[in-house]
């Protein structure tokens, strides 16, 4: 094997030598190399245009960044953004003949190859162009094997890099190659590219680098581990001085300036960039968005593709998070329960009619230190909690849809055993075994009378009620799977099947929107590298129930908060404006809830012991500094809900719920307007009953349409959607995206 390596090395050196003896300069030498059989046999497959791993950021609905995620911390810089001092320091140190050669430094490459062949210390001796080829191949590698291959300094690899470098010099200008190199290079301490390095070590940008800073950063590139200015400042200082001396040798600076700069300390101003949801301003929301992207095929065909997208995609992820609402929810949760309280709270807030998730909050800070009350569990979206009586309006909606009159009286006993449904020993009981009496469905809702609702689901049908729950947004309720709802499971109406605060909030958002259900939305737009709008998940808004039915439920639930019945359970949720609400207390105090909505936002609050509600019921609980022997939904959960909603609605206009005569959304087909001018596309879509939005980013430059034309439509043409659904148009390159459309 060693002999073979020697032979290959000798051949390679011969090739290089022939190149060096060529009478012309590098270009002619490259031509000579290409005439050899060895050169022609080399297969070069370098992803010159591969996207580099970049930072992705999440922004709230106001455009403010609240989370940063990356596998490699990189902030791209243009050639114009590179300070002359840094460019000069880099060339003087890394490749002094950079502007003269054609990609390969013949003397350096020959010396390195010979040294490696005879068994000396392995040398790189690569030009800036070759180093860029190596860095680019590493950055684009998606497996360890490919990364190891890119890091190889064998003779074969060096020859491949040499040929690739020649190809690169034929395709790109020197300035393009230099810029691409400094954006791929590793500068230590997690900084990839000069933009991240300038920020990491000096809290500045590449265009503002001083000579002292530029020399240090150029010196780091030779060996980031050895010349680490934070971990090894003496070595970094010594290396900086070497760079300054080389700049003098190459005529970039004079000796006086070099000596004056050498007298300076490193003058570091380091900063550690945040990375990951744990360091986010809103870690629970961030983690949910990340999890949603990772799991939803709308964002990529495979799990690996979606993970690559998040951590390497250079994304600007626009979320619907409303910081005012988020902070209101967080403040209410932490006011109610200290982080170390055995009881936790989960809050989800959804915008009716859009599905946009405005806030997700808990009382516990993000982290793995359980003793400090930290958690890495997404309580607001975890479908592990029984919703209790917040489920009852779903049963009522099912019954009313089937023709039931909410004013129908029935004598609700203190205990009830349905004839054809399952029931516990002794039958179903009311809270505290209290009596029901002769009640209408309205009164039974306000007073949350269990036996009335068991009778009601008996009349209505368990499976019909489960189907209604799905239609309204409680997707964890299923008639199949590991915990199916059976046709005899009367306990469904009392919320004995698991769901999440987010799903409960979605149900109440559907009521508040006049029966329009929308899937919860984590991302409202996603743009890669500032230019390319990527596909995202749709809310798929549908008219889940008739507006008249929604209006009936809303009227009853409004009276539960602000009505006249002195026994109504939701009176603690009053916020001084129209609002619907319902309490929930799971069986044996396994959980306590309050859920409700205004036309602007729907909020669900869960309280429970994360160790397991059934085994650890809400008895002897301290909340808001007060002891509670038994926790009901109308107590601390109602107060959390009231505090959240009151603060979140400050400054917002008072809105009324949709009337019973609100038109239902008819189902229509999205017309194909791709290739049309914007005005024609706008007319076709509005004629079909849709509203029209223009994407903030135009299509990529590869599109051939002139400015002002439609390149893509979301939802896609041919998709069936309800009239009134927003349709987003992506326009051709060069188009204005700030146009005002008169709907």
Q: What is the pLDDT of residues 226-244, one digit of tens each?
A: 999 999 999 999 999 999 9
Residue 117 has pLDDT above 60, yes or no: no
> Quick one: three-class SS letters along 652-720?
CCCCCCCCCCCCCCCEEECCCCCCCEHHHHHHHHHHCCCEEEECCCCCCCCCCCCCCEEEEEECCCCCE
Taking the C-alpha atoms of residue 564 and residue 319, their distance in angstroms, rounded to an integer, is 40
Q: Are 526 and 292 in contact (CB under 8 A)?
A: no
What is the DSSP track for 562-601? Answer: HSS-TT-TTGGG--SS--EEEEEE-GGGS-EEEEEE-SS-
pLDDT class for 517, splitting at 50, 70, 90?
Answer: very high
| Secondary-structure breakdown of the chain: helix, strand, coil percentages, each rounded to the nearest 5 | 40, 15, 45
pLDDT class of 365 with cuts at 50, 70, 90: very high
The residue-averaged pLDDT of 554-582 equals 96
Q: How confident is the model at residue 89 (pLDDT cuts 50, 70, 90)?
A: very high
What are the chain's domains? Answer: 2-41+72-262 (1.10.3810.10), 388-498 (3.40.710.10), 666-743 (3.30.10.20)
Length of the chain: 743
Q: What is the mean pLDDT of residues 4-17?
A: 46
- Is residue 5 pLDDT above 60, yes or no? no
Inform me whether the pLDDT recorded for 283 exceeds 80: yes
Average pLDDT of the segment spanning 249-266? 96
How large is the average pLDDT for residues 98-127? Answer: 65
211 Cβ neighbours under 8 A, 6+ residues apart: 85, 89, 244, 253, 257, 261
CB-CB contact of 632 with 585 (8 Å): yes
More confident residue, 636 or 4: 636
Q: DSSP readout, 67-112?
A: EEE-SSEE----GGGS-HHHHHHHHHHH-TTTTTSSS--HHHHHHH
**Is 440 in a helix, a strand, or coil?**
coil
Return the residue matching tokens 């809400």: 618
Q: Cα 261–75–262 angle (5° rounding)? A: 5
Exposed (0-12), middle (13-18) or buried (19+): which is 407, by Cβ within 10 Å?
exposed
What ranges make up the beta strands (E) of 115-273? 191-192
> What is the pLDDT confidence band of residue 707, given thresholds at 50, 70 and 90?
confident
- pLDDT band per the 50, 70, 90 thresholds, residue 740: low
pLDDT of the residue at 42: 60
Looking at residue 304, its pLDDT comes to 83
Q: Are 541 and 722 in contact (CB under 8 A)?
A: yes
Enter the pTM of the model.
0.80
Statement: residue 721 has pLDDT above 80: no
Asked whether the predicted pLDDT for residue 354 surpasses 70, the reply is yes
61 pLDDT tier (thresholds 50, 70, 90): very high
pLDDT of residue 251: 95
pLDDT at 608 over 90: yes
Residue of 592 and 305 predicted with greater confidence: 592
Can you give the pLDDT at residue 116?
Answer: 53
Give residue 35's pLDDT band: very low, low, confident or very high (50, 70, 90).
Answer: very low
Q: Is the pLDDT of residue 176 over 60?
A: yes
Question: What are the Cα distances from residue 700, in Å, to 513, 608, 704?
Answer: 37, 49, 10
The DSSP secondary-structure symbol of 534 reads P
Half-sphere exposure of 486 (CA within 13 A, CB side): 8
| Averaged pLDDT of the chain | 87
Confidence band for 644, pLDDT divided at 50, 70 and 90: very high
Segment 702-709 mean pLDDT: 73
At 41-60, the pLDDT tens digits run 666 677 787 778 888 999 99
**pLDDT tens across 11-28, in order?**
444 554 444 343 333 444
User: What's the average model confidence in pLDDT over 78-106?
Assistant: 91
User: Do residues 476 and 500 make contact, with C-beta atoms less than 8 angstroms apart?
Assistant: yes
CA-to-CA distance for 58 and 525, rounded, in angstroms? 10
């Amino acid at each position: 094997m060693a002999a073979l390596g020697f032979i290959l090395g000798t051949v390679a050196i011969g090739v290089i030598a022939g190149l060096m003896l060529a009478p012309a300069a590098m270009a002619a030498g490259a031509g000579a190399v290409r005439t050899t059989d060895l050169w022609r046999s080399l297969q070069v497959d370098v992803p010159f245009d591969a996207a580099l791993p970049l930072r992705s950021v999440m922004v709230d609905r106001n455009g403010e960044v609240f989370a940063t995620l990356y596998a490699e911390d990189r902030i791209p810089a243009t050639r114009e953004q590179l300070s002359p001092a840094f460019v000069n320091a880099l060339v003087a140190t890394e490749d002094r003949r950079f502007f003269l050669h054609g990609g390969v430094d013949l003397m350096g490459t020959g010396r390195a190859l010979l040294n490696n062949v005879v068994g000396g210390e392995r040398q790189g001796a690569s030009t800036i162009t070759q180093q860029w080829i190596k860095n680019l191949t590493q950055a684009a590698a998606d497996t360890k094997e490919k990364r190891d291959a890119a890091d190889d300094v064998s003779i074969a690899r060096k020859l491949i890099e040499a040929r690739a470098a020649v190809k690169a010099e034929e395709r790109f200008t020197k300035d393009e190659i230099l810029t691409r190199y400094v954006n791929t290079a590793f500068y230590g301490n997690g900084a990839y590219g000069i933009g991240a390095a300038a920020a990491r070590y000096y809290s500045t940008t590449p265009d503002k680098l001083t000579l002292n800073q530029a020399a240090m950063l150029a010196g780091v590139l030779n060996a980031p581990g050895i010349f680490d200015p934070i971990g090894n400042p003496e070595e970094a200082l010594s290396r900086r001085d070497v760079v300054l001396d080389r700049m003098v040798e190459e005529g970039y600076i004079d000796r006086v300036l070099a000596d004056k700069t050498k007298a300076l300390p490193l003058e570091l101003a380091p900063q550690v960039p945040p990375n990951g949801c744990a360091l986010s301003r809103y870690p629970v929301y961030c983690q949910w968005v990340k999890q949603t992207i990772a799991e939803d095929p709308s964002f990529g065909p495979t799990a690996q593709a979606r993970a690559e997208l998040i951590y390497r995609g250079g994304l600007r992820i626009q979320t619907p998070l409303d910081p005012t609402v988020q902070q209101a929810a967080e403040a209410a949760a932490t006011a109610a329960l200290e982080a170390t309280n055995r009881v936790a709270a989960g809050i989800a807030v959804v915008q009716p009619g859009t599905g946009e998730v405005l806030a997700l909050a808990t009382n516990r800070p993000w982290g793995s230190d359980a003793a400090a009350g930290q958690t890495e569990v997404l309580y607001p979206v975890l479908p592990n909690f029984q919703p209790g009586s917040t489920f009852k309006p779903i049963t009522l909606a099912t019954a009313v849809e089937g023709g039931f009159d909410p004013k129908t009286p029935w004598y609700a006993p203190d205990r009830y055993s349905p004839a054809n449904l399952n029931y516990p020993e002794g039958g179903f009981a009311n809270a505290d075994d209290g009596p029901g009496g002769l009640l209408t469905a309205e009164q039974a809702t306000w007073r949350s009378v269990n036996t009335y609702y068991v009778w009601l689901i008996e009349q209505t049908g368990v499976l019909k009620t489960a189907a209604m729950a799905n239609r309204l947004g409680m997707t964890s309720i299923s008639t199949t799977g590991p915990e199916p709802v059976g046709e005899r499971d009367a306990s469904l109406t009392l919320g004995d099947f698991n769901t999440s605060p987010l799903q409960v909030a979605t149900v109440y958002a559907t009521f508040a929107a006049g029966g329009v259900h929308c899937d919860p939305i984590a991302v409202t737009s996603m743009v890669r590298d500032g230019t390319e709008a990527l596909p995202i998940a749709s809310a798929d808004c549908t008219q889940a129930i008739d507006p008249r039915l929604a209006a009936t439920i809303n009227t009853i639930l409004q009276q539960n908060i602000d009505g006249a019945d002195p026994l109504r359970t939701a009176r603690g949720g009053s916020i001084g404006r129209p609002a619907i609400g319902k309490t929930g207390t799971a069986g044996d105090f396994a959980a306590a809830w309050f859920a409700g909505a205004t036309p602007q936002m729907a909020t669900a609050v869960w309280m429970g012991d994360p160790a397991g509600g059934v085994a650890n019921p809400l008895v002897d609980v301290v909340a808001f500094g007060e002891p509670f022997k038994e926790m009901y939904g109308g107590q601390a959960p109602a107060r959390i809900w009231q505090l959240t909603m009151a603060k979140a609605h400050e400054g917002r206009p008072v809105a009324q719920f949709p009337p019973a005569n609100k038109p239902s959304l008819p189902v229509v087909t999205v017309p194909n307007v791709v290739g049309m001018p914007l005005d024609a596309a706008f007319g076709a879509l509005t004629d079909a009953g849709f509203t029209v939005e223009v994407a903030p980013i135009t299509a990529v430059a590869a599109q051939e349409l002139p400015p002002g034309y439609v390149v893509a439509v979301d939802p896609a043409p041919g998709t069936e959607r309800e009239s009134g659904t927003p349709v987003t148009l992506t326009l051709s390159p060069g188009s204005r995206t700030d146009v005002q459309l008169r709907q």
